[in-house]
Amino acid sequence: MTPLLQVTDLTKHFPVRSRGLQRASGAIKAVDGVSFSVEAGQTLGLVGESGCGKSTTGRLLMRLLEPTSGSIKLDGREIAELKRSELQEYRRRVQMVFQNPSSSLNPRQSVGSAIAAPLLAQGITPPGGVKARVRDLMDRVGLRPDHYNRFPHEFSGGQKQRVGIARALALDPQLIICDEPVSALDVSVQAQVINLLEDIQRDTGVAYLFIAHDLSVVQHFADRIAVMYLGKIMEYGDTDGVFGAPEHPYTRALLSAVPQPDPAADRSGRIRLKGDLPSPADPPRGCVFQSRCPVQPGLDPERRQRCTESVPSGDVACHHVDIAAEALAATLR
């Protein structure tokens, strides 16, 4: 079956211009050959550290940025080939919820008008009228009818994010790109917003690409996980598999840092990554994770050379999954 969204070898390189030079002198490889799919009604969690290219991926999918290369297909249709009218339809079907609900809402626009805006922009009058539809949406996300004429500054962060979700739902999308929608919220409010997103998915069958830097946020929520590092996917698979039996050393390191509910839990298994994230303008050749990989220094020369030459294609971008667990255990001893 064709997935709802199919992304293949997607790349976005931002040109770097040195002072005085007209032509680009290099490129920031923000997204560098990323492939994944999202099934209808399901959630893909896209996780990774700050700067690894998550938002750029989201913006490419929203067509807010042009890809350098690669393919994005919605229901099997290549979106780069869509005609103007089809592009408008695409913009209806794919919506976005942003990280910072304060900056994504216009302070001078009432909440009712903000939620109505996508309908008006697309020239859509729902049965019963725009106002009735906005009131339904407000009810769906847990806002009261008297909130209609209020302004964003009168709302808490969680309420503002509810407005953002109502606005994203206004056009009945098939896919919502949620770019760290709960990162700016208090922990207690995070759970409420995630529960709301789950309820909405159950009711409407909408799919999510849920971007997070914290694995624990997506653990109970996503059907599949893609772990991103320096513009590339390190590991990709079912959530249960990725959490239950992670294979890539980077995934293992991220998981070892997920907070344990029990404060007395044994923390000795925490894998600490050394060094800084390399610059995406000058990533290591071969495996981009090699400079921080806790496994790589202990490898025999022949295996180490493989890291510098290439990465295996497939769901786990590491040559050494066969020995990674043992090698990591040795670094922790």
Ligand X SMILES: Nc1ncnc2c1ncn2[C@@H]1O[C@H](COP(=O)(O)OP(=O)(O)OP(=O)(O)O)[C@@H](O)[C@H]1O
**Any contact of residue 104 with Mg ion (CB under 5 A)?**
no
Specify the long-range contacts of residues 128-134, CB closer than 8 Å, at least 24 apart. Answer: 133/170, 134/166, 134/170
> Cα–Cα distance between 103 and 276 in angstroms, integer?
30
Check binding of 55 to Mg ion (CB under 5 A). yes
Nearer to Mg ion by Cβ, of 55 and 174: the residue is 55
Single out the residue of 70, 152, 173, 280 in contact with ligand X (rule: CB under 6 A): 280
Select the residue interacting with ligand X from 26, 33, 51, 284 (CB under 6 A).
Answer: 51
Record the tokens describing residue 157, joined without a space.
């962060």
Q: Which is nearer to ligand X, 45 or 53 (CB)?
A: 53
Which stretch, 47-55, 166-174, 197-205, 267-275, contacts ligand X (CB under 6 A)? Answer: 47-55
Q: Which of the stretches 45-53, 103-111, 127-135, 304-312 binds ligand X when contact is defined by CB under 6 A?
A: 45-53
> Could you give the count of Cα atoms lying within 13 Å of 48 in the half-sphere of its Cβ?
25
Q: Are 230 and 288 in contact (CB under 8 A)?
A: yes
Q: Distance between CA 285 and CA 305 in Å, rounded? A: 11
CB of 65 to ligand X, least distance (A): 8
Torsion of CA 233, 237, 243, 245, to 10 degrees: -100
Distance CA 236, CA 274 (A): 23
Q: Does 57 sit near Mg ion (CB under 5 A)? A: no
Buried b (16+ CB within 10 A) or exposed e, 191-209: ebbbebbeebbeeeebbbb
Q: Is 14 in the site for ligand X (CB under 6 A)?
A: yes
Q: Residue 56 interacts with ligand X (CB under 6 A)?
A: yes
Of these, 4, 5, 7, 30, which contacts ligand X (CB under 6 A)? 30
- 189 alpha-carbon distance from chain centroid: 20
Instruction: State which residue, 46 or 288, has the beta carbon closest to Mg ion.
Output: 46
Compute the least distance from the CB of residue 130 to ligand X, in Å: 33
Residues near ligand X, by CB under 6 A: 14, 28, 30, 48, 50-56, 213, 280
